[in-house]
Amino acid sequence: MIVDSIKENNLIAKEYKELLKISYQSLSKDDRKLIRLAFNTSVDAHKNQRRKSGEPYVFHPIAVAKIVASKIGLDATCIAAALLHDVIEDTEYDEKKIKEIFGKKICKIVVGLTKISKLAKEENVSLQAENFRKMVLTLNDDVRVILIKIADRLHNMQTLGSMPNEKQIKIASETLYIYAPIAHRIGLYELKSELEDLGLKYTEPEMFNDIKNKIEQSKDEQDKYIKNFSRRISEKLRKEDLKFKINGRPKSIHSIRDKIVNKNISFEEIYDKFAIRIIYKSENHTEKFLAWKIYSIITDHYTPNPLRLRDWITSPRSNGYEALHITVVGPGSKWVEVQIRSERMHEIAEKGYAAHYMYKRGNQNENGLEEWLNRLQEVLEDTESNALDFVEDFKLNLYSTEIFVFTPAGELKSLAKGSTALDFAFSIHTGLGLKTRGVKVNGKMVPLSHELKSGDQIEIIKSENTKPSSNWLDYVKTSRAKAKIRTALKEEKKILAEEGKEILRRKLKQLKIKFDEKTINDLGTFLKLNTSLDLFYRVGIGKVDNTQLKKFANYNNRLINFFRKRISRRQNKLDQSENEISSNYDQIVFGNEEEKLDFTFAKCCNPIPGDDVFGFVTVNEGIKIHKKNCSNAVGLQSKFAYRILKSKWIDSTVQEYTSTIKISGIDNLGIVNQITKLISNTLNINIKKMSFDTVDNIFRGQITLKVKTKNILNDLIKRLKKINGIEKVIRE
């Protein structure tokens, strides 16, 4: 055991020396001192821990730090944070201690990594999406948290073999769903490919092993082909005094799998299983010239496919990737992809933004990473969106192919493929997007939803009177545009709500009702609205009329009279007034659907008709009804939130029922407006949902309503049939 311990300590020391040797950044004396301190702290903190594989736990943080140092190319701060990334979560070292030893910056990164690790990892997709959303939102704190987390996930995937099968599949699926897309967006292609291949190894092991074996079997043949292809090219390149190296790179197993599945072809039918890469030395000012010179030399020998030319030197990808890709007919009439890159471009492709900003700003990587964070900001702006929508928007923007379009002045802009004219307006400026009245593409007027193509020239026609509508969300594809439209709609709702608040204040004054918080809450409950904002907004747009307010006034007066009588007759619990209100509030319903279920009253608070209540599902006694201000309410709701049922008292004599009608007829101008006017304004019936569709001048509609009685519904159907153009109205 002593021998093993000595051996392990020697291995740990060896790993540490290698970490310093492989760092992409040049490390100063202070950097080495910081890394040594982080290393010693990590070794001490994890001294009694082992991984599932049996090796000392400290090998994991060292491995993560090595990935951070060499494959992502980050600085000493990040290397130290990587060494410490599990310390707060798994050991006796707490946040305060890490802050004392390493300072605020490193502590903040380690805390961010701890928060991500603590997120619940449920199988439920929506929860997984929510976790992803939360994780990406930590970018707002510090982008380095995500970079180190990607390195952490890569090492976990590399050592996943010791985990149980169910855990392997879960972690691998999460990797393909969450981490590989982020690595792609950052431009870490090497890490992205490795994460995808390792993910495939556990999610589709048969497919993975089959492709891997076939690649290995064809390796000798592939090497021979690359040598043959390169020989004649190399001679010509040397004659031009170019300094270069040519190598072959097999395509990743995951990318080959995608081609097999998506194109429904066999492994043998894939022609581009590898790419030939030419990496040349150059000064910055000659990079572009030399790339096209190499292109010219290659195409003198091998016929190019013009449709497969990709010029990412003139217009780099949004994640910083630069290269010239061409596909040519090589020896034996086989298609071969050739990637032409300068050494600088190659570094960026391998190391992502860390390398990009080192070239751009010397060693000021940190500022560069902040710039990159700002580029991601548009995805993070809509923090209130539904979690699943957020994930889909984010992934859409990660994987979408780019198109290139022009402003009227001829400036080139890149957008995601599928972007619309309205997306373009928002990409120029939020203010322009929100005031877009019309769009011209190549000189012709087009709808806002018009899908753009590479080469289009777009002119935005703006108007100060234009306001976004909810329909605009269907017209755009990019998450930036969606976020800005949602924000504008919320602002518009707030403005209308402010106006509605003043209108309501005046109307209640006329009805001699006090305008205060209690009245607002009571009126919101009476009108079945969730918030005061909803109430003020509906008043502002004229959806709450005088008739409804008068009904509320009468209802309110009945309640006031009831409580006055109740106070004067406290001794008689079953007096006339209580019988009166019991007859008004005679039923409790549950949930949004207002279901009727069996229940009993809780003895701890003895609710009576009219009290604000909630239902609690007990283990043995069914549903118990408690008052919302019951002394046990907070405890029950915090500990057993999943057993709480939304509940309320109702007057069954005025209860509304949901009903759906179907309408069809000739699509006359303004017919939908006539229908909605009749239902909402004339008959004061609440529309829950409505959809209309027109085909060849014939319209069909479906409307879901809340009605009190069958007679009201029959009266509505009769009136609808009298509208000119309506042929048929039926109740579902």
Name the CATH superfamily housing domain 2-188: Hypothetical protein af1432 (1.10.3210.10)
Do 280 and 244 contact (CB within 8 A), yes or no?
A: yes
Catalytic residue among 90, 141, 522, 667: 90
Mean pLDDT (the chain) is 78
Tokens standing for residue 161: 């073999």
Q: Looking at residue 132, what is its pLDDT? A: 54
180-184, 660-664, 707-711: which is most confident: 660-664
Tokens standing for residue 467: 């306001």
Listed residue (244, 241, 296, 251) closest to 271, CA to CA: 251
Residue type present at position 121: K
Do 618 and 624 contact (CB within 8 A), yes or no?
A: yes
Do 160 and 76 contact (CB within 8 A), yes or no?
A: no
Global pTM? 0.53
Task: Round to whole Å and give the CA distance between 128 and 578.
Answer: 50
Q: 631-644, pLDDT tens digit by residue?
A: 777 667 656 666 78
Q: How confident is the model at residue 577 (pLDDT cuts 50, 70, 90)?
A: very low
Residue 542 burial (10 A CB sphere; 0-12, 13-18, 19+): exposed
Q: Looking at residue 115, what is its pLDDT? A: 67
Q: Looking at residue 4, what is its pLDDT? A: 65
Q: 528-551, pLDDT tens digit by residue?
A: 777 777 788 878 777 777 777 777
Task: Round to whole Å and give the CA distance between 727 and 684.
Answer: 23
Half-sphere exposure of 406 (CA within 13 A, CB side): 10
Q: Distance of CA 508 to CAs 549, 554, 556, Å?
A: 8, 12, 12
2-6, 131-135, 363-367: which is most confident: 2-6
Phi, then psi, of 296 in degrees rounded to 5: -65, -40
DSSP conformation class of 24: S
Secondary structure E strands in 374-473: 402-406, 412-416, 436-441, 444-446, 458-462
Looking at the chain, the domain(s) classified CATH 1.10.3210.10 span 2-188
Please count the residues of the chain.
732
Q: Distance of CA 263 to CAs 260, 267, 337, 401, 589, Å?
A: 6, 11, 18, 18, 54
Q: Is 90 a catalytic residue?
A: yes
Calculate mean pLDDT across residues 57-67: 91
Do 617 and 591 contact (CB within 8 A), yes or no?
A: no
Q: How confident is the model at residue 377 (pLDDT cuts 50, 70, 90)?
A: very low
When mean pLDDT is compared across 204-208, 270-274, 302-306, the lowest value belongs to 270-274
Task: Indicate if the pLDDT at residue 364 is higher than 60.
Answer: no
Calculate mean pLDDT across residues 556-570: 51
Task: Round to whole Å and give the CA distance between 516 and 505.
Answer: 9
Looking at the chain, the domain(s) classified CATH 3.30.70.260 span 657-731
Q: How many CB atoms lie within 10 A of CB 701?
A: 19
Do 441 and 422 contact (CB within 8 A), yes or no?
A: no
Catalytic residue among 89, 287, 402, 499: 89
Task: Indicate if the pLDDT at residue 504 is higher than 70.
Answer: yes
Q: Looking at residue 122, what is its pLDDT? A: 42
Q: Looking at residue 566, what is its pLDDT? A: 47
614: helix, strand or coil:
strand
Q: How confident is the model at residue 293 (pLDDT cuts 50, 70, 90)?
A: very high
Task: Round to whole Å and give the CA distance between 681 and 693.
Answer: 23
Looking at the chain, the domain(s) classified CATH 3.30.460.10 span 215-351
Task: Indicate if the pLDDT at residue 196 is higher than 90.
Answer: yes
Sign of CA dihedral 314, 315, 320, 324: negative
Contacts of 664 (CB under 8 A, 6+ apart): 698, 699, 700, 701, 726, 727, 728
Task: Indicate if the pLDDT at residue 123 is higher than 80.
Answer: no
The H or E element that residue 212 is part of is helix 205-217
Q: Is 4 a catalytic residue?
A: no
* CATH hierarchy code of domain 215-351: 3.30.460.10
Tokens standing for residue 695: 């085909």
Pick the CATH number of 657-731 from 3.40.50.300, 1.10.10.60, 3.40.50.720, 3.30.70.260: 3.30.70.260
CA angle 717/721/724 to nearest 5° reads: 150
* Cα-Cα end-to-end distance for the chain: 79
Core vs surface per residue 299-336: b (16+ CB within 10 A) or e: eeebeeeeeeeebbbeebebbbbbbbebbbebeeeeeb
